[in-house]
Structure formats: structure tokens, C-alpha cells
Structure 1
């Protein structure tokens, strides 16, 4: 259709222009995908052995109990047909309506059209019926070992989530409404976002979760005052400026995980654990780990203990003039703190007065949601990958963690960015989540094989710097904080590790929420509470049954515990000393590094 003078209508003209932009973007997309690293099949899917086990178990079930499988299949047919008949009956009345839906709400289907439009409602209901049938069929398979059962359940769930109608343009009413309202502009912007993400990661698809231009570390995020007072090839040691006239005599050091960056503890002033600790009158040091490149391929757990933990402890003692300090380990850094403490116990080194573990696993008998990835097929693939590249690239770590919460960290962000054409939000936590780090090849394999797979620290012993150390060797007074819904370090598994530690003085605090929000939970907001219990360290569920709930953050409770083990008050300390001048202002230089792999 044209106007009287032969020109296209404005709407059609706009659509034509957008289609031309799509053509140009398609060429950029092809060029970007051509840069993709050589794929490692072992890191893209579970090994064939798992498929063979599942297939064999299904065939055995079919031969021995054909009626049970037929019952599941017939039930699915019946539900799908019943819903189809109900939809037809409603439409036959001449009304644009849908059958009554009394099922549970799913936030993926929040658009009203899923409940009012016959087409979208039919698609939604058939998907939910199919998902339920698939889950029931898999659950009915018998004869699988527990690990294989967990893995098959996990990958089944991944397929079900992937096939949700919200993930496809033709069956996503939000995306279609936006495309119509913008005359295709939203789809063009979405494709621009997609191409930009693939170009930024050299052919790999990594969804940008937060506006990368909204934050700058050291400027509007990670801004606590302090300075780097020591640096080696593995870490920078940051001492934070005091905010009180007097401080506790015993200094405190935090070892954050080197899987990501320390400023999760200093996102904004109002939720900064670092600032809060300083405000309580503690002399605080934080280790900022080097973000390794391929030259770090041979760096292993021994290096992190010797050149990281033991060196940091030595330098803090020299700077403060104190013979003892208190230490905190977060996640994998807590695991390694445990190894270090057990080694120090063997050596008769009493430099650590008390230790705190944040969401730490030291007993890996229960691998939790990581069970799917901690078997030989994937770990063999990781070993092959790091042998080729020298490091385990942050891309693989980010992807693994994201798939543990695929709807929240993959599909919903992809829908907003690529289908709706929205710019990523200015969200500090998601910005940090996307600021990943590489792992040295040797260290990654040692951690996965010796600690995660063979559970040596809780078993026969894990060798550190030539000494075999065990959990029972952790004997300093300790406080462990675990999180109730933590999917990375399940609280019961954390409890099991603490229970085996040799310390006589042990405190366990269970925070509400998960791996990050349960830790970064400042006082005052009272968003999440915490539990303490008088029960002994024998059974996690018995401990939880006897636990008392406390409203609000666990931070003040921990600070009181720490203060009782931090000596008298003394004059606040200046940064560094004559042998440790300030090398750079906080947050230092290592935290800013983003090496490619």
C-alpha cells in the first residue's frame, strides 16, 4: 500500500528501515560468531555414559514394569486432551475466553494474556502439562545410583526450562506487544544487544546482566577508604582506614574467594560489610587476589596457602606489631583458610587467634547442586581445557553458576535484552556478578579433584606444602555463618564440616537467604533474620529444630563474638609502616584487572 504520491506510509517506512538494520546486524553477528573459541564438547554436555545409564534404566523399567510407564504416558495424554477439549468447549460458545485455571502461579507467566488469551493460555497450559509429565516419567525410572539420579534430574530440569514458551518470540506476549508498539524497533535493539554481547566475548554468548557503564570500581562502588600496603604476584593487601579513635588490639584479615572479587563486601556505603567492620573499631585488612592469565598455569593450592595466606598473615603481624590476628574466609577462601589453619596447627604456628567461615564447605560428601558438574566427564573436560589455555576462564565459571539459576540469570535477562530490546539495569550486585575472574589451571584441577571429588580434607587428608592435613586439625576458636537457602554451599554441608573441626570453641549461625544476600545483610533493614541453637554439633536437623530465631542481621552478634577475642582497645593505627608504604589507594590495582583467556 502506498500514499497518493507513491510514498510508503510512515509506519511501513519505519519497518522497512528496521529490516535493513537487521540485515546489517546479521552480518556483524556472523563475523562475531566466527571468533568463538574452539569448543570443548566435554564442557558443553554430560558424557555419553550418563545417557547410556539413563537409557538402560528406562529400557529395564519398560521391560519389567511396562504398565507403570504406560500409566504415566496415558495420564499425560489424558491431561493434554482434556485441556484441549476444555479450550474448544469455551471457544465453541463464541466467547474469546479460556478454561478456568486453578493451578499455582508461575512468575514467568505474569502477563495477563497468559490467562485471558485463548492462544497464549493454551500454549502455557500445554507446556506445564508436558513439563509435569516429563518430570514424572524421569522420577519413575528406578535402578539409578544417587549421583546419576541427581544429574538426570538436573539436566531434565534444564531442558524443561529451556523449552518454556516465554523463551521464544512467537509465544512470548510481552515481546510481541513490545515489537508491535515499537514497529519492530525493540527487536532491532534486542539484536544490537545480542551482537554486542557476542562481540564483547569474542564469539561466546555471555548475557550482560548490568549496565557496565553505570559503575566504576573505586569511584561509585568499592569506595571504602584505605590503601595497598603490600603486593606480590598473587595478591594485594589492603588496609582500610580507621573510622574510630581507638581500635581492638587484634587485627582482622578477610580472605575473599578468588573465584570473584572482594568488593561484594563493599558495594555501597549502606550495605558495606567492610565499612561496618571498621566502624566497630577493628583494624581491617582485606586480600585482593590477582586475576590470573595463562602465565599462572602452574599456580596451585600450595601457592595460595604459602604466597597468599601465610604471607598475608606474616605481613599483617609486621605492620601491626601483633603476634596474633583473627581471620575470615569466604566460600572457597574459607575452605583454604581451613587448610591453612590445619597446616599451622601441625607446624605449631599460633598466629591465628580465632577464625570465621562465611558460607564455607570443607566436607564435600554432599556436593549439592554442583553434583551435575563434579563428575569425571566434566572435570576431565576442565582438565583438558586448562591444559590448553593455562587457566579456567571466567566464562566457564560464570556459565556454570548461571545455569544453577537459569531462569533468573539466563532466560529472563535474555528475554529482556534480546526480545524486549531493553538496556541492562544499573544494578550493583549484577555488575559484580559479571566481573568474573579466571582460575589458575593447576589450582582449579587440584581443588576439583582433591577437595570436591575425593573429599580428602574430610577424609584421608589433603596434602598442603608437603603436610597431610585434616579437618580435625582446625583447632582455633571459630564462628561459622551459613545461609539457609544457599545453593552453592548448602548449610547442612557447611555444618557437617564445622562439626568435624577439632576446635573446642565453636559457634554456628544460620542466616536467612542465600550465598550473597545472607552475608551482605546489614543491620537496620531487618530484611533477613538468623538462627542460633544450643544443640551440639552432632546432627544438622536436630540443631535446626532446637534453634532460636533472631530478627535482623547476624553482623552485631558476630561482632560481639569477635570483640571478645580481639583484646583491649588501643589507639587507631595509621596505614602501613615505614617498611610497608601505601602503594596505591584502595581498592588497589588487581581488582581492576580483566585479563582475557
Structure 2
């Protein structure tokens, strides 16, 4: 039927959704269809997992009782609580007043500003737009008030106070206005400009991360397809010359015609993979060390599965550094070796040196420690995860498979820098609908390794919880009581000034334990950049104190320290080269007493968590 005065051809083409073209509408409907299908599959998988494994504990970290006890202490002083509320109200009133003055065109100073380095509020709208500026300052006032009030509660033991402060900060970070679509100016702008396509793409990214995590949210920090181990990361030439169930030993190709007589063994952490020291040629510590004339060997730890569940700490020592020493002597004919231990690899090296000292084994001539703790009395923020309830929870988790999933450890480390390593990616991936930027460091960070149950439990309980390693005879390894004070060889101890994993003051304690000459060096930056800082970058700085004896505390050491610009690598080279013997003809991997098994970086490092 044709109505009078209007032809059918004059009727505009229908659109499924107002304001969208037919093509845009069809694209949107297809996207919703895909989201619905994938969501349904995720719900089915979750239901099956729930039925097979049963309901998961609602409070696996046992935080409820901690906060209840803390709240009781806080309520015990109602006058102080009222005073704190009044102080907050006064700050709000001041913010209201300043905001009103600004809306009337007056120039005003902000009541609260973000801390230096806080990237959440970098967008100009957080300062230029009155509404967003008010949201930002209101959030900052509340956050600082809450943390300040918590720290002033009396009658709370130090460990509980740190635990409450840490998890309160996690909550504060989570509720930042930058993490929500309607209160983040960048997201609002992107939503308007793309007609909501950013949120749609973000939802698809969210589903993809849930699928990848098999029901758990596995946030992508980088484009994992942009990098390949042995392809564009971990590319220094070398050969695997030895392997057992726990390690592959890589000997790297020489970069000089002559090398020092004493080879260098690097023992990295097994929590992460060794190629943090060989990400790319321009910042590779391994490549740089070969260029200085060292014969470099590196331990590449296995990524364990349930078959290695019963591996213990002494297995990692015997089949790790001690097995590597035997192999290096066969490969080069050199009995004396210098060593580097990084992070937990340094903790293992300290225990190994004490074990060797007790047995009269003098094959290690000198040792370097990168951000390694041996006294855990002040372990930093990781200490909040160490109490009986949380350790029991971790051990129960490990008992199901015989190991701790690498993702669990990665989440713990990410929580230490939640704004940078969690929430920034929530905003980028899910609210802005963008794909994460390809970044080799974050690729390495996501390439986590598993922890064998028995070994990891031993490490957490004896080092972190009981601090037995620093006590003479506190730990028995392979039936030998060990004492770190028996270590008399020269040591070089590196710490990062801003290290949140192995705090500098904790690392420094080793200078008061080892009996031999100890050169302590404090590097600018943190756990990674404080170590991986090649001279060519001319970044950061480092501090040295040339007094004959290290004072009792880091603060005293710093008081007499001198600052030097740039990398500390040359200082370390000067120290180690004097202890590495004469020069000999360069050693070619596989041409000595041990044949090459495969090319570096080997096969162990390529096994990703979730693969067998």
C-alpha cells in the first residue's frame, strides 16, 4: 500500500540502531553475536570447573579476620576516629571552596596533586576540566586520608599493619576514577568519537583474556605474538653444552680473541627466565660480558611440571650451580670459576657458597649478587604474603598439581606495582579498546615459570617466614649445616635504590654477614632496570662508598657514598677482571671437553607455562 503524498522510494533505508549506517549496524550485531557465543562458552566452562573442583574459598588469603581485628583496634579509640573524620570533612570543604572559586574564573592552587610519576592522571583533561579535576582531587584526598588514618592506629603489630596497609592500597588503586569509563576523560572522549566501538572492542579483549586464562583473568601486558625466544629475544650466539633434569648450561660464543682464564657462571632466578639478561643485543648483559673478555656460562632452569613436584632446594643446588661447575671444568679445563647470582638465584648461590665452604670446596673464586637477599628480616612488601594462613593456602594450591603456576607468582609481583602492571592495562585494553604495545620486557615478564611444590615451600618457610638462612646452622643442605659467615671469597653486592622486590636495605645486610671483602654498590632504579642498565644508555646513576669497611646499616653507608652518573657495569668489570686471571685463547662452545647439544638459547627456556 502506498500512502497519499509519499512514494515508497522516498522512505529512508532502515537502520537497526539509531545513528548508525546499515554497515555499522551489521558490524555491531555481528560483534554482539560473537560476544554472546563466547560468553556462553565461558559460563559453561566455569560451570563444569565448579562442579568438578567444587566451590573455591571465598577468602583464600584470610584477609577478613585480619581486617576485623584491625577495625576493632581502630574503634577502640572513637575520639581519634571522629577527629580523623573531621579532618577529612575539612579537606572536602576546602576542595569545594577552591572548585567553586575556579568555576567563577579565579586562579587557584590545587588542594591535592598526584605523586610524581603517577601516570594515571597525565591526560590534560584531569587538570583543565573542572569536573575531572574535582574527581581527581577528591579521590586523592580520600586515598591519602584513608592510608594516613590506618597508619595512626595504635596497638597493631607491625606485620598486621603492613598487611592492612598493602591490601588497603590495592583497594584504593582499584577504585581510582581513572579505572572507570564514565569518570576517565580519555575513555569518555574515545567512546564519543568511536560511537562506543572502544568499549565493544574492550569487551572482546576481556573475553579473550578470560579464554586465555581458562576462566581466570589473564591480562595481556604486551603483544605476545610479537616476540619469539631465540628469534628476536635471547639471541646471543652460543651452545647448550650440558643438561640434566633441572638445567641446561649454555656456553656463549666469545667476542674477543683472548678471554680471562677464569670463566663466569651466571645463575639467574628460576622464578623467571634467564633471558632478562639477553633481551636484545643493545641491552644484553650476556653479550656485553663476552665483549669484555669473559667466557660466559648461563644456567637455564627447567620449567617444571608435576614430574618434578618433589624436587627440593638441595636438588636445585646439586643439579644447578654444582653440576654447572663440574660441566664448566670439563668444557674448559678451568677449575676456578667466578659466579653471579640474580635475585633468588643469588640466595641459592649464597647457600651454595656456604655449603662449599663447609666441605672445603674452593672452586668459586669470586661471586656477584644482583638484588639478592640472604637476610629476610626486612623482606619488603613481599613479606605481606608470608604468614601461616597464606603459606598454608599456597601449599594447598600446589598440592593439587605438584607445582605453583607461574601466573600465580606473576600476579603477586604485579600487585606490588598495581597501577603500572594491572590497572593501566585494564584501562588500555578494556576501556580504550586498544591492543597492548609490543614490549620485550613485558613479554619476558609474562613468560612465567612454575615452582616445584616441595622446593618452593622450603624456600618460603625457611627463608621468608623463619629467616633461617642468615642464622649459623639454621639450614641443613644435603646433611651439611651451613653458615654464611664461612664465606670468605670476594663478593660484589648490587642493590637497586627503588627495588620493591628485594629492598636495598635488605640486600645490604649481606655485607654484615659474609666474612670476605665485600664491595657494595647501590644502583639507580629498581629490580630490573637497576641491573639491566648498559653503559651505552647513559641512564640512571650509581653510588659507591670506598671506605675500608662497610658500616652496619645502609643509611650509614649512603651518608658516605659518592654518586656517579650512568651504568655501574664498568665498575663491576674493573672489580671482576682483577680476580679473573690472565688472558688465554678464546674458547669456542662445543670445541672443548663437552660437545654442543643444541644452539642457544636451548629448549628448556622455550617451554611456556601450560605447555608440557
Structure 2 residue aligned with 1:205, among 207, 210, 217? 217
Between 239-248 and 198-207, report the one with greater CA deviation.
198-207
Structure 2 residue aligned with 1:404, among 416, 424, 427? 416
Separation (CA, whole Å) in 2 of partners of 1:290 and 1:196: 28
1:548 corresponding residue in structure 2: 562
Separation (CA, whole Å) in 2 of partners of 1:297 and 1:376: 21
Contact kept, 8 Å, 1:332 with 1:360, in 2: the verdict is yes
Q: Does 1:56 align with 2:72?
A: yes
Q: Does 1:108 align with 2:117?
A: no
1:123 corresponding residue in structure 2: 135
1:328 corresponding residue in structure 2: 340
SS in 2 for 1:328: strand
Structure 2 residue aligned with 1:491, among 504, 528, 531? 504
1:364 corresponding residue in structure 2: 376
After TM superposition, the score normalised by the length of structure 1 is 0.94
- RMSD (CA atoms): 2.2
Separation (CA, whole Å) in 1 of partners of 2:151 and 2:375: 28
SS in 2 for 1:125: helix
2:4 corresponding residue in structure 1: none
SS in 1 for 2:77: helix
1:529 corresponding residue in structure 2: 541
| Change in CA separation of 1:22 and 1:554 when aligned onto 2, cut-off 3 Å | same
Matches within 5 A, 1:180-199: 180-199=192-211
After TM superposition, the score normalised by the length of structure 2 is 0.92
Matches within 5 A, 1:329-344: 329-344=341-356
Separation (CA, whole Å) in 2 of partners of 1:7 and 1:297: 63
SS in 2 for 1:213: helix
1:463 corresponding residue in structure 2: 476
Post-superposition shift, 1:154?
Answer: 0.9
Structure 2 residue aligned with 1:383, among 388, 395, 414? 395
Separation (CA, whole Å) in 2 of partners of 1:310 and 1:349: 10
| Change in CA separation of 1:520 and 1:24 when aligned onto 2, cut-off 3 Å | same
Separation (CA, whole Å) in 2 of partners of 1:43 and 1:49: 10
| Change in CA separation of 1:331 and 1:90 when aligned onto 2, cut-off 3 Å | closer
Structure 1 residue aligned with 2:600, among 562, 578, 586? 586
Separation (CA, whole Å) in 2 of partners of 1:254 and 1:566: 15
Q: Does 1:225 align with 2:237?
A: yes
SS in 1 for 2:232: coil
Post-superposition shift, 1:199?
Answer: 0.9
Post-superposition shift, 1:191?
Answer: 1.5
Contact kept, 8 Å, 1:364 with 1:451, in 2: the verdict is yes
Structure 1 residue aligned with 2:305, among 284, 289, 293? 293
Structure 1 alignment gaps of length 5 or more: none
Post-superposition shift, 1:175?
Answer: 1.1
Between 535-544 and 565-574, report the one with greater CA deviation.
535-544
1:28 corresponding residue in structure 2: 38
Contact kept, 8 Å, 1:15 with 1:183, in 2: the verdict is no
SS in 2 for 1:155: helix
Q: Does 1:506 align with 2:506?
A: no
Contact kept, 8 Å, 1:250 with 1:324, in 2: the verdict is yes
Between 525-534 and 328-337, report the one with greater CA deviation.
525-534
* Equivalent pairs, count: 588
2:3 corresponding residue in structure 1: none
Separation (CA, whole Å) in 2 of partners of 1:293 and 1:273: 29
Contact kept, 8 Å, 1:42 with 1:377, in 2: the verdict is no
Post-superposition shift, 1:225?
Answer: 0.3
Structure 2 residue aligned with 1:5, among 9, 12, 17? 12
Between 176-185 and 297-306, report the one with greater CA deviation.
176-185
Structure 2 residue aligned with 1:138, among 150, 161, 167? 150
Separation (CA, whole Å) in 2 of partners of 1:491 and 1:90: 44
Post-superposition shift, 1:136?
Answer: 2.7
SS in 1 for 2:270: coil
Contact kept, 8 Å, 1:358 with 1:480, in 2: the verdict is yes
Post-superposition shift, 1:98?
Answer: 9.7
Q: Does 1:18 align with 2:28?
A: yes
Contact kept, 8 Å, 2:112 with 2:141, in 1: the verdict is no
